[in-house]
Amino acid sequence: MPKTARRPRTAQPPKAAPESNGAAPAGADHPVGSRLRDLRASRGLSLRALAERAGVTAGALSQIENGHTSPSVSTLKKLLAALGTTLGAFFAEDAASEPGRFIYRKAELVNVASGNGLRFLALPGPAGERQLQILHETYAPGADTGEEPYAHAGEESGVCLAGTIEITVDGRTELLGPGDAYWYASTLPHRWRNVGRTPAQVVSACTPPTF
């Protein structure tokens, strides 16, 4: 009997590579845990003492310092406030600013965010030498600054460049889209969350640089 001709296999389209969410994985740009442990030791504080000051559990702090978990922005800010410093100062480079310099290239910017799906790019060098802090913030879909709102001295303002970002200030929640702007006193409890399906980007300014 003649053999039945086999149908040629239909070529399957290649699987699309996963899209980048536009934000760096937690810990990709800086060793948060080890740096926090070193700072705590330099202040002469035990792990339990810092945890009590910041209002977090000793177990949670131990997980952070050992690199087993990445703290949210709100949690890290509480820890750093208990240590007498800010996020900007915590991640600042040791080198002093160059006199007369006013341009900073993209590759030189420092990520001062912690938490999955977040990237907050800031100018390098000590933030305390300036009166203004500028951040280029990127939030992956679903990313937020933490369940608890946080507050600090000063005021903040900025513009949403892309995506949809939810901002809660003093219990009031609003949505920002591309082109929308905001301003609020940083002393009011605030929280940020990307509620969209694409990365959200914001350029923000804070004065004085207390973020």
Residues 79 and 124 in one domain: no
Residue 71 included in any domain: yes
What is residue 9's predicted lDDT score, i.e. its pLDDT? 45
Rounded to a whole number of angstroms, the distance between the first and last alpha carbons of the chain is 81
Residue numbers of the domain that contains 47: 32-88
What is residue 140's predicted lDDT score, i.e. its pLDDT? 98
Q: What is the CATH number of the domain that holds 185?
A: 2.60.120.10
What is residue 163's predicted lDDT score, i.e. its pLDDT? 98
Residues 6 or more apart whose CB falls under 8 angstroms from that of 56 comprise 75, 78, 79
Number of folded domains that form the chain: 2
Residue 25 included in any domain: no
pLDDT beyond 80 at 208: yes
Q: How far is CA 191 from CA 3, 134, 176, 186, in A?
A: 70, 18, 13, 11
More confident residue, 170 or 6: 170
Contact 140, 192 (CB under 8 A): no
pLDDT beyond 70 at 132: yes
Provide DSSP, 115-163. Answer: STTEEEEE-SS-GGG-S-EEEEEEE-TT-BS-SS-B--SSEEEEEEEES
Residues 136 and 203 in one domain: yes
pLDDT tens digits, residue range 111-131?
999 878 999 999 988 877 889
Residues 116 and 74 in one domain: no
CA distance 71 to 56: 11
Can you read off the two tokens belonging to residue 210? Answer: 């207390």
Q: What is the largest CA-CA distance in the chain?
A: 90
CA distance 168 to 188: 10
Mean pLDDT of 201-205: 98
Neighbour count for residue 42 (Cβ, 10 Å): 9
Tell me 22's DSSP state: S
pLDDT beyond 80 at 139: yes
Mean pLDDT of 42-57: 95
What is residue 95's predicted lDDT score, i.e. its pLDDT? 54
What is residue 24's predicted lDDT score, i.e. its pLDDT? 37
pLDDT beyond 90 at 194: yes
What is residue 23's predicted lDDT score, i.e. its pLDDT? 39
What is residue 87's predicted lDDT score, i.e. its pLDDT? 87
What is the pTM for the complete model shown? 0.79
pLDDT tens digits, residue range 86-112?
888 888 755 566 788 899 999 999 999
Angle between helices 73-82 and 47-54 (to 10 degrees): 110
What is residue 125's predicted lDDT score, i.e. its pLDDT? 84
Which conformational region is residue 22 in: left (phi greater than 0), alpha (psi within -120 to 50 degrees), or beta? left
- Residue given tokens 């149908």 in the structure block: 7
Residues 148 and 192 in one domain: yes
Of the given ranges (21-25, 184-188, 191-195), which has the lowest mean pLDDT?
Answer: 21-25
Residue 1 included in any domain: no
What is residue 96's predicted lDDT score, i.e. its pLDDT? 61
Residues 75 and 112 in one domain: no
Contact 186, 151 (CB under 8 A): yes
Residues 77 and 125 in one domain: no
Can you read off the two tokens belonging to residue 42? Answer: 């330099």
pLDDT band for 26, please (50, 70, 90 cuts). very low
pLDDT beyond 80 at 154: yes
